[in-house]
Amino acid sequence: MKTAKLLALIIALSAAFAGGAVPAWAGPPGTTKLGNQKVLTLLVRDPPWVRCNNNMQVAAELTNIYVLPVQVIPQALAGPGAKVPAVYYGDELIAEDGGKGNGMVSFTELADMLEVEGVARHKQEGRLMAKEPKPQFDALKAAIKDVK
């Protein structure tokens, strides 16, 4: 009886992988932790499109405040069947194309999560959000979002 159950499981997994689908339990490609710190993983199209650029901008803003390792993985290296764009924090799926958030995250959503988890902050914030470059950065984000 055990052999029949094992065979059924193997057949089910083979069918899932044959279609190019990656099961949800597979997790993100790349490193999920660096020491005791969870890694923010961005899966992006190659070249990045609007949602991918948004996610990278959010990551840039977050790393100006929080001590947060970030890895950007292009679609070609994400593995077969990976839904791109996607965002993971550690092993947790935050957003993916056609699913949660349709592949896009917001600064507030991730900052709230980092605050709850007690992620360390830099002693001094980066200049990206400072008074001087902020208007230019906002103009760049707007220009990227307007590209069709």
Please say if the pLDDT value at position 42 is more than 90.
yes
What pLDDT does residue 110 have? 97
Domains and CATH numbers, the chain: 30-146 (3.40.30)
Distance separating alpha carbons of residues 126 and 107, to the nearest angstrom: 15
pLDDT of residue 137: 75
Question: Do 55 and 104 contact (CB within 8 A), yes or no?
Answer: yes
Give pLDDT, residue 24: 47
Judged against a pLDDT cut of 60, whether residue 112 lies above it is answered with: yes
12-29: b or e for each residue (b if 16 or more CB lie within 10 Å)? eeeeeeeeeebeeeeebb
Mean pLDDT of 34-41: 94
The chain-wide mean pLDDT, for the chain, equals 81
26 has pLDDT over 70: no
Write out the two tokens for 124: 């001094």
- Per-residue confidence (pLDDT) for residue 2, from 0 to 100: 52
Q: Read off the tokens for 52.
A: 């991918």
Give 23's pLDDT tier (boundaries 50, 70, 90).
very low
**pLDDT computed for residue 144 by the predictor:** 77
Cis peptide, bond prior to residue 28, ω within 30 of zero:
no
Q: 95 with 105: CB under 8 angstroms?
A: yes
pTM higher than 0.75: no
pLDDT (average), residues 115-136? 82
- Reported in sequence order, the residue ranges of 12-132 that DSSP labels E, i.e. its strands, are 33-34, 37-38, 40-44, 70-74, 86-89, 92-96
Distance CA 4, CA 147 (A): 55
Around 44, how many Cα atoms within 13 Å sit in the side-chain half-sphere? Answer: 22
How many percent of the chain have pLDDT more than 90?
Answer: 53
